[in-house]
Amino acid sequence: MRPHFEVQVHMSDETPDVELDVSGYNCPIPLLRTKKALSGMAAGELLRVVSTDPGSEIDFRVYTEKTGHRLVSFEERAGAYVFLIEKSAVF
């Protein structure tokens, strides 16, 4: 079965501006797709990423620390890792 990759854009203030589902992909794909999604976003916008890669928790924590993006929240649910990232003004 082919891994799932999808980007959805939301306009509601109560939801992230962009959602990225990289379920089924392993490192480095979740992080690479996240970088690409963030590069097309404006500072302050929110990106929700859903990943099934167990290594993604540490990858995303290190990535956000090094780039200045803010890891707003992290949650593990039903075998998936859900990240909410705020786009930095720097990157």
Residue 70's identity, in one-letter code, is: R
Q: Is 27 in the active site?
A: yes
Given the residues 7, 27, 29, 80, select the one marked as catalytic: 27
Summarize pLDDT for 6-22 with one digit per residue, the tens: 444 443 344 899 999 99
Q: For residue 91, name the pLDDT band (cuts at 50, 70, 90).
A: low
pLDDT of 25 over the 60 cut? yes
Whole-prediction pTM: 0.83
**Residue located via tokens 């589902």:** 21
The conformation of residue 23, written as its DSSP 8-state character, comes to T
Here the tokens at position 41 are 């976003």
Summarize pLDDT for 28-43 with one digit per residue, the tens: 999 999 999 999 999 9
Element at 39 (helix H, strand E): helix 29-39
Question: How much of the chain exceeds pLDDT 70, in percent?
Answer: 84
